[in-house]
Amino acid sequence: MTTSQPTDILPIAVVLSAILGLVVGSFLNVVVYRVPAGLSIVSPPSACPRCGAAIRRRDNVPVLSWVILRGKCRDCDTRISVRYPLVEAGTALFFVAIAVRVSAGSVALVATDIGISTVAPVWIPAFLVFLALLYLGE
Ligand SMILES: [Zn+2]
């Protein structure tokens, strides 16, 4: 009889963490854009700042929609900053790194194998600085 090891759930934890990170990153984009402007973070739904067209559900998928639309509004071709998918992807990577680290034990060996364990103490704060610079650079 085999017993379940922490490594068995690592792939699932990575996928779920990545999805959660993408959703949180997308929400962070909304918060950072709306809160300083004194706007609600729940309504109205996201719209193009230039033409006012509502962002369709299929155009609101983190990272993927930006790539498919080539960084432009579907309605007026206004450029959409690369900052949005970068924050979404960066937050997903951050969440995956945390999931791998939290798994610890035998999973730590896997993390070391792919270089995350040794690099994490450096790149986690680096990611936070990167995020701050993205927004300060507006
Ligand atoms: Zn537009």
**Cα of 136 to ligand 1 centre, how many Å?**
24
- Residue 106 is predicted with a pLDDT of 44
Q: Across the chain, which distance is largest between two alpha carbons, in Å?
A: 62
**Cα of 43 to ligand 1 centre, how many Å?**
18
Among 97, 94, 89, smallest CA distance to 116 is for 97
Tell me the C-alpha to C-alpha distance, in Å, between residue 33 and each of 30, 36, 44, 84, 111. 5, 7, 13, 10, 35
**Cα of 72 to ligand 1 centre, how many Å?**
8
Residues with Cβ–ion distance below 5 A, ligand 1? 48, 50-51, 73, 75-76, 78
**Cα of 46 to ligand 1 centre, how many Å?**
11
**Cα of 68 to ligand 1 centre, how many Å?**
15
Phi, psi (rounded to 5 degrees) for 76:
-125, 5
Contact 124, 94 (CB under 8 A): yes
- Residue 82 is predicted with a pLDDT of 92
**Cα of 69 to ligand 1 centre, how many Å?**
12
Among 53, 84, 51, 50, smallest CA distance to 67 is for 84
Which pLDDT tens digits describe the chain residue by residue (138 residues)? 455 555 677 788 889 889 988 998 888 888 888 887 888 988 888 899 899 999 999 999 999 999 999 999 999 999 999 989 998 998 888 888 877 777 754 445 455 555 555 555 555 666 676 676 666 665
What is the C-alpha to C-alpha distance for residues 36 and 110, in angstroms, rounded to an integer? 41
